[in-house]
């Protein structure tokens, strides 16, 4: 009987254990770090809202966000907050327009934290805060209030997401239990993690690298994410680190090829001396960014082979059909 019980545990526990471990070592600490850094950010903004003073806290908080930004399901999705934390890609310059509207009107909504959460999402997140700290602001007094409103809002949003995670984590670890309508089978919780991994890699390849690369004939350096604060490459490095952490914690299968592919991509990224990816317009420098992008593609392939296929997860029967 004890043997049978042990065998049962062996066959059922790992699936839950992987999810539990991913929550405990990756998702929950990532959100705690985001709360910590955005709290420091808002305190710093209250103490001194000038760009020079606030930039260090801005960088730390933005780092914390990028390191957990691949987790797009759960509380952040339920509260519809992704765009209000970071509005990118933004080809229509919604951020610039939304900030210009507020500034032109000297809109007092910035003094009311609750009301400010109703302004355009494009004016609320890190992408907006970067503009405030790196673009010229003609009206220093209003810019200060707007900066403080964005910082306060980021701390509130981060706290609100973190507050809902414990309950959501329980839904994930009890996937398939009676009454759990969110995750009706154990594999659905794993699928959510796998989707974060595969979508994160796709975003890295197609957007964070693909947008500035454009085409050889038409490179688009101004499309690099967070180029004003010269964080473009750092976002890529942080996301590689975070996605590798997710990949290695969410499964116990052999990840030889995945780890090798991550190592190769990290080496390529670290070799780039181009923080805002502006070299994409220079044929010699561009080549290095293209090679980095190819190494991300190699990670995507390895992840499908070593994680997706063994789990029996094929992403998007319909999403991938393309017809």
Partner 1 sequence: MPSRRAFLAGLTSASLTPTLSWADVGSPVALSAAMTPSGAYVLVGLTATGDITFQIPLPARGHAAAAHPHVAEAVAIARRPGTFAKVIDCGTGDVKQTLTSPNGRHFYGHAAFSSDGLLLFTPENDIATGAGRIGVWDRSASYKRVGDVPSGGIGPHEILRLPNGTLAVANGGIRTHPDTGRDKLNLDTMQPNLTILAPDVTQIDTAHVPQDTHQNSLRHIAAAPDSTVICGFQWQGDPYDPPPLVALYKGNGTLLPAQMDDTALFGLDGYIGSVSAFGDGHYAASSPRGNLAFSFDQNGQQTGAHKATDVCGLCAAPDGTCLVTDGLGRVHTLTEDTLQHRTTHKLAFDNHLVALTT
User: Crossing angle of helices 256-271/232-249, nearest 10°?
Assistant: 170
| Cβ nearer to partner 1, comparing 60 with 188 | 188
Q: How far is the CB of 88 from partner 1 (least distance, A)?
A: 9
| Cβ nearer to partner 1, comparing 138 with 316 | 316
Q: How far is the CB of 89 from partner 1 (least distance, A)?
A: 4
3-state secondary structure the chain: CHHHHHHHHHHHHHHHHHHHHHHHHHHHHHHHHHHHHHHHHHHHHHHCCCHHHHHHHHHHHHHHHHCCCCCCCCHHHHCCCHHHHCCCCCCCCHHHHHHHHHHHCCCHHHHCHHHHCCCCHHHCCHHHHHHHHHCCCCCHHHHHHHHHHHHHHHHHHHHHHHHHHHHHHHHHHCCCCCCCCCCCCHHHHHHHHHHHHHHHHHHHHHHHHHHHHCCCCCCCHHHCCCCCCCCHHHHHHHHHHHHHHHHHHCCCCCCHHHHHHHHHHHHHHHHCCCCCCHHHHCHHHHHHHHHHHHHHHHHHHHHHHHHHHHHCCCCCCCCCCCC
Among 25, 89, 259, 297, interactor with partner 1 by CB under 8 A: 89
Among 28, 83, 298, 304, interactor with partner 1 by CB under 8 A: 83
| Cβ nearer to partner 1, comparing 138 with 317 | 317
Q: Tell me the C-alpha distance between 228 and 126, whole Å.
A: 12
Binding mask 100-139 vs partner 1 (x if CB under 8 A, - otherwise)?
---------------------x------------------
| Cβ nearer to partner 1, comparing 179 with 322 | 322
| Cβ nearer to partner 1, comparing 136 with 181 | 181
Considering only the stretches 14-22, 63-71, 86-94, 277-285, report the one whose residues sit in contact with partner 1 under the rule CB under 8 A: 86-94
Q: How far is the CB of 19 from partner 1 (least distance, A)?
A: 17
> Using CB under 8 A, which residues numbered 299 to 318 contact partner 1?
316-318
Considering only the stretches 40-48, 84-92, 157-165, 286-294, report the one whose residues sit in contact with partner 1 under the rule CB under 8 A: 84-92
Considering only the stretches 52-60, 82-90, 138-146, 234-242, report the one whose residues sit in contact with partner 1 under the rule CB under 8 A: 82-90
Binding mask 48-77 vs partner 1 (x if CB under 8 A, - otherwise)?
-----------------------------x
Number of residues that bind partner 1 (CB under 8 A): 18
Among 91, 138, 178, 273, interactor with partner 1 by CB under 8 A: 91
Residue 323's Cβ-count burial label (10 Å; 0-12, 13-18, 19+) is: exposed
> Using CB under 8 A, which residues numbered 174 to 233 contact partner 1?
181, 184, 191
Q: Is 27 in the site for partner 1 (CB under 8 A)?
A: no
Which residues are CB-neighbours of 228 under 8 A, at least 6 positions away? 130, 131, 134, 135
Residues that bind partner 1 (CB under 8 A): 77, 83, 89-92, 94, 121, 181, 184, 191, 316-319, 321-323
């Amino acid at each position: 009987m004890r043997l049978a019980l042990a065998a049962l545990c062996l066959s059922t526990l790992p699936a839950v254990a992987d999810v539990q471990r991913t929550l405990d070592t990756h998702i929950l600490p990532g959100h705690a770090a985001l709360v910590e850094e955005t709290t420091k950010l808002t305190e710093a903004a209250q103490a001194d809202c000038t760009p020079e003073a606030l930039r260090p806290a801005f960088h730390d908080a933005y780092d914390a966000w990028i390191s957990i930004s691949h987790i797009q399901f759960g509380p952040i999705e339920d509260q519809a907050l992704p765009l209000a934390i970071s509005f990118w890609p933004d080809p229509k310059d919604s951020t610039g327009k939304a900030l210009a509207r507020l500034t032109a009107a000297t809109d007092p909504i910035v003094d009311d934290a609750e009301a400010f959460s109703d302004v355009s999402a494009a004016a609320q997140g890190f992408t907006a805060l970067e503009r405030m700290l790196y673009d010229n602001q003609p009206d220093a007094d209003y810019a200060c209030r707007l900066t403080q409103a964005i910082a306060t809002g980021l701390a509130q949003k981060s706290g609100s997401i973190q507050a809902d995670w414990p309950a959501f984590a329980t839904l994930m670890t009890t996937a398939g239990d009676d009454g759990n309508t969110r995750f009706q089978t154990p594999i659905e919780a794993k699928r959510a993690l796998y989707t974060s991994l595969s979508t994160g890699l796709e975003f890295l390849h197609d957007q964070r690298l693909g947008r500035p690369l454009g085409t050889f004939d038409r490179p688009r350096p101004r499309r690099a994410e967070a180029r004003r604060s010269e964080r473009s490459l750092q976002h890529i490095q942080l996301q590689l680190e975070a996605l590798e952490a997710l990949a290695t914690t969410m499964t116990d299968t052999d990840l030889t090829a995945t780890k090798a592919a991550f190592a190769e991509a990290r080496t390529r990224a670290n070799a780039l001396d181009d923080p805002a990816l502006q070299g994409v317009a220079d044929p010699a420098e561009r080549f290095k960014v293209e090679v980095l992008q190819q190494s991300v593609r190699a990670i995507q392939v390895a992840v499908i082979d070593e994680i997706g296929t063994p789990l029996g997860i094929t992403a998007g029967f319909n999403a991938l059909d393309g017809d």
